Structures are given as C-alpha cells and as structure tokens.
C-alpha cells in the first residue's frame, strides 16, 4: 500500500509520509512478551493486545532518517546500558540520584526534545486534546532540523526513574500530559514516560538559571543525573538544589 502524501510536520514539505513512531520502538521492547506482544490501555480504559508502539503518518523519509541518528545514539548510550537492576550503576537506592554517562550530550538532548515534539504534534499520543506547545512547536522543530541543542538551559528536562517494589526500573510508556502545578512556582512542565523514566520537560527559552549551570557541567563532563525518587519529591525535598551545588564543585 503506497505511503500517504502530505505535509511533513518537521520540514513542512509535501512528501510521502512514513509511519512515524512517537516513542521509538526500541523503548517498547522490554515491555513485550515472548510473542512480541504487549498490553495497551485506550482512552476509555479498554485494554487490548498490540505488537507495535503508537505511530502516525507525521514525517517524510528524510526527517525520519535525521531522527534515527538521535535515536541510535540514545539507544547505545541508554537503552543498551541501563541494567534491569542497580548492580552496575554508580549508586543504588535509596540514594537520591544516579549519574549516567552520556558521551554526546547534545544528541542526547535533541533525542528527548524530538520525542516531546513528536508527541505534541501528534493527534493521539496526548493525555488531553488541548496540549499544544504554541509558538515553541516551530522553534523546537528548527532546533531538531538544525541539530541545535540550543543555549545552555533552553528547554530543560529532568528524569525520575520508575521503580517497582524491588527497586528495579520499569519500562513503562505513557503519552504526553500536562504537569500538575508549576516548577519553582513559575514554570509549566509536561511529562512523558519511556525508557524507564518519567521525563519532565520545561517549555522555557531560556530556562531558569539553575538549569543553565547544571547543563553546562553535564555537557562538559558527558553525563546526566537521573533521580531515583518521584518528581514531586524532587521539588519538595530540594533535591534539585543538591544537584546544582554538586554541578558547581
């Protein structure tokens, strides 16, 4: 069956459109059973069995190839190295944060911004139809196209590990949703779940100064800090302040 032709959401050109996954298919692999199946919950709470993650006809082949480079780097640096337990990580729970090596921080950041952007422009991978990035949608698109991670602190994000009762990472995938409340009383954020974490994105350019300081160190040292507590506790326990202080040492 020929691919439908339409305007590519990223480059804005009229071309044949691919089956574009919002979250890359490799993030679903740990969820699948031996028959390559997984359970999905629909909007009405209906559970069904599926074999592939959510996709829509969003991008042309050229743009798909561009995003695949970010995806490959993330898969190698993250999905292929995060273990099923914490035996090989720098620290283990109940410690508050874990440092993960990220050799190419710019590519790492662009991967996550591309997932956020894909979810925002999708028609169905959102918990609520009123989610929109407004003018930031095209700003992010141009950054992704130009392989530009932005200035330090632009569109910052944090990650909190999803853990089961045995403190093992859970490979859950969940659509884009609006965060509850505001970070530091000012900044709106959006949340997605994939790759063992809840990823919390702040739609701000520039972001708070504290993010600029931390991202500078992360880029220089090729690392990313993942919290081992829920995002709500990050805010209430001032764990973020501890990361900021550590980044300046």
pLDDT at 191 (0 to 100): 92
pLDDT at 30 (0 to 100): 78
SS3 21: strand
Interatomic CA distance for residues 189 and 201, integer angstroms: 5
Task: Print pLDDT tens along the chain (249 aa).
Answer: 677 899 999 999 999 999 999 999 888 887 766 666 555 665 655 656 655 668 899 999 999 999 999 999 999 888 887 654 444 444 444 467 778 888 899 999 999 999 999 999 999 888 876 788 899 999 999 999 999 999 999 999 989 888 777 777 778 888 999 887 777 667 788 999 999 899 999 998 888 887 888 899 889 988 888 887 777 666 654 565 666 566 545
pLDDT at 239 (0 to 100): 61
Whether 107 and 115 have beta carbons less than 8 Å apart is answered as no
Interatomic CA distance for residues 58 and 241, integer angstroms: 39
- DSSP E strand boundaries for 45-173: 47-50, 55-57, 97-101, 157-161
The half-sphere exposure of 194 on its side-chain side, counting CA atoms within 13 A, is: 28
- DSSP E strand boundaries for the chain: 5-7, 14-16, 19-21, 38-41, 47-50, 55-57, 97-101, 157-161, 174-178, 189-194, 197-202, 223-227
Q: What is the pTM of this model?
A: 0.87
Angle in degrees, CA 222, 226, 231, rounded to 5: 145
């Amino acid at each position: 069956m020929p691919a439908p032709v339409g305007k590519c959401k990223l480059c804005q050109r009229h071309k044949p459109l691919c089956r574009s996954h919002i979250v890359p298919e490799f993030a679903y692999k740990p969820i699948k059973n031996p028959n390559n199946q997984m359970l999905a919950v629909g909007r009405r709470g209906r559970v069904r069995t599926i074999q592939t993650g959510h996709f829509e006809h969003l991008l042309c082949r050229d743009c798909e190839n561009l995003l695949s480079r970010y995806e490959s780097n993330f898969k190698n640096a993250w999905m292929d190295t995060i273990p099923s337990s914490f035996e090989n990580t720098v620290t283990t729970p109940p410690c508050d944060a874990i440092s993960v090596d990220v050799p190419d921080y710019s590519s790492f950041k662009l991967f996550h911004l591309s997932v956020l952007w894909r979810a925002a422009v999708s028609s169905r991978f959102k918990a609520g139809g009123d989610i929109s990035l407004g003018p930031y949608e095209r700003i992010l698109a141009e950054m992704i196209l130009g392989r530009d991670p932005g200035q330090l602190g632009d569109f910052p994000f944090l990650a909190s590990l999803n853990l089961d009762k045995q403190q093992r990472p859970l490979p859950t995938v969940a659509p884009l949703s609006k965060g509850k409340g505001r970070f530091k009383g000012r900044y709106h954020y959006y949340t997605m779940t994939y790759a063992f974490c809840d990823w919390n994105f702040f739609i701000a350019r520039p972001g708070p100064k504290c993010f600029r300081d931390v991202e500078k160190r992360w880029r220089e040292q090729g690392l990313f800090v993942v919290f081992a507590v829920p995002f709500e506790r990050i805010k209430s326990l001032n764990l973020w302040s501890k990361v900021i202080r550590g980044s300046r040492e």
